[in-house]
Amino acid sequence: MKGRGVSFMENVGKWHHGVPSAEELQQAMADLDAALAERTVEMIKSEGGTAIAHGFDATREKDCKGLIDAAVDHWGRLDFLDNNIGIGSRGSVVDEKPEEYRRVMQVNVETMFLLSKHAIPAMIKTAKGGSIVNISSVLGLRGAAYAMAYCASKGAVRTLTKNVALHCAFMKYNIRCNSVHPGYIDTPMIGPALAANVGNMSGKQWLEELHP
């Protein structure tokens, strides 16, 4: 069986143990910047995969529903949703601005709620089940003295995931929901921290020390 899904991943690897490989997956790659979604599609195609690009604003429910509808219209079914959306903020509990806190919570948490809200009915209708993966963070488990809003949002993603999983189990929807909690990854969002020195440590060494 081939999987059709909506994904926000930058890299797609090989899948094993009965799960479709990257070449078998059919994906809709979405990003606020449509050009970045197109770039990711080209990466997938270069490895033999199949994907389409979709530009959208995940903070708008209409756009979230439109993305799910576009994937189903194109592929005929929806098997998985990968919620990999996030922005950062380094403010502490004392100096974080309320408007920045609300912005981080909207982008990092509310978007996953909106996409899951519309993906679940589509999975039930078109595939009789499916899988949702929400990308949280190591900071959603351990917290930090800085980045209060980011830590709170990623902790919320973890609990949202549990709620979705329990709801789907209670309703017998045959839909799994799991969260992934990666450490620091060399991305544009982390780039400035990697380039900076902290005391007598490089940014990379300092970030590695923060892992539990």
CA 122 to CA 45: how far, in whole Å? 25
Per-residue b or e along 72-100, where b marks 16 or more CB atoms closer than 10 Å to that residue's CB:
beebebbbbbbbebbebbebeeeebeeee
Residue type, 109: V
Q: Please answer whether residues 135 and 107 qualify as being in contact, where contact means their C-beta atoms are separated by less than 8 angstroms.
A: no
Per-residue tokens: 81 = 């949703």
173 is catalytic: no
Which residue of the set 101, 150, 173, 184 is catalytic? 150
Cα–Cα nearest to 81, from 24, 135, 160, 137: 135
Residue 3: CB atoms within 10 A of its CB come to 20
Active site residues: 150
